[in-house]
Amino acid sequence: MNVIVNDLLVNYSRQGKGSPLLLLHGWGDRLETFDAIARLLEANNTVVRLDLPGFGKSQAPNEAWGLEQYAEHVSNFLQKIDCQPTAIVGHSNGGAIAIYGLANGQLRADKLVLLSSAGIRAVERGRKFAWKVLAKTGKVATSTLPAGARASLRTRLYKSAGSDLLIAPSMEATFKRIVSQDVEAHAAKLNMPTLIMYGKNDTATPPEYGEKFHRAVKGSKLILLDDADHFMHQQYPDKISALISEFLES
C-alpha cells in the first residue's frame, strides 16, 4: 500500500488483527526484512511496517535527515494511517529512531523491543574515522586518475573500512548525519518495559551495545543469542517472534 506523508510517497503494509505493533527496519533495509516474524506475529497483533524514506519503495527526502526527522516522519505516517502502536520493534537503525522518538515525545508506545539496535556511536568512532581517513587519502592520491578508476578505488577503500555508506550511496549526507548521533543518553530517558536482543556473533552492532542500552534503560531485559548475527529475526524467526510475543503478553 502507498500513502503520501508530507509530500513523500511511503510504501507500507498492515496485516493481522489485535494490538497494533510497529516494525522499523534498519539502514539500507526495507519492510520485507520482517516478513518471517510478521507472519508469526500477525496472529495476535496488527503488524504495521513501512519502508523508511530513501529505502525500499519509499521516496527519499530531498535533504539530509537525522534521527529527529525520521522519528517525526514515522509519527506523521502513523497519524496519516490512524494507527497508535502499543509497541514498537526497531532493528538496527530502526531501533535508534525508536529510542530517539520515544525519548523526545515524537513517538508513543507502551513497550519497546530493540533488535540489534544501532545508536551507540562512541564505540564506532574508530571505525568511522578510519573510513574517513582512507577515503580522503584515496581521493588525494588518485586525483589524477580517470573518473572510473577513482570511483573503483573509493569503493574499495570504503569496503576495507567497513562502512555502511555503500549500501545507499545516494543517501551519503543522511548517513553521515545519522552516524554522528548517539542515543545512549536518550535511552536513559525511557520509562517503559523494554526488551533488548543482540546476537553474540553480531559485528555490525555488537553485544556490548546491548549491554550499554540495558544499563541505560531502567528495568529493561537483555537477551544475548548464541549463534545469531545482525539479522537474528531472519535467522531465527520462530524464536524471535516467540520472545517478542511473550514480552508483549507479560
pLDDT value at position 161? 39
Q: Provide the whole-model pTM.
A: 0.86
Which domains are present in the chain? 2-121+181-249 (3.40.50.1820), 124-173 (no CATH)
More confident: 158 or 128: 128
pLDDT digits (tens, 9 = 90+) for 21-44: 999 999 999 999 999 999 999 999
Grid coordinates of 140: 588525494
99, three cell numbers: 529510542
**pLDDT tens profile 200-229:** 999 999 999 999 999 999 999 999 999 999
pLDDT band with cut points at 50, 70 and 90 for residue 163: very low
| Stronger pLDDT, 130 or 15, i.e. the higher one | 15
Q: What is the pLDDT of residue 168?
A: 76
Proportion of the chain above pLDDT 70, given as a percent: 82
User: CA-CA distance, 25 to 88, in Å (whole number)?
Assistant: 11
pLDDT value at 60 more than 80: yes
The band of 162, judged by pLDDT with boundaries at 50, 70 and 90, is: very low
More confident residue, 75 or 148: 75
Whether the per-residue pLDDT at 138 is higher than 80: the answer is no
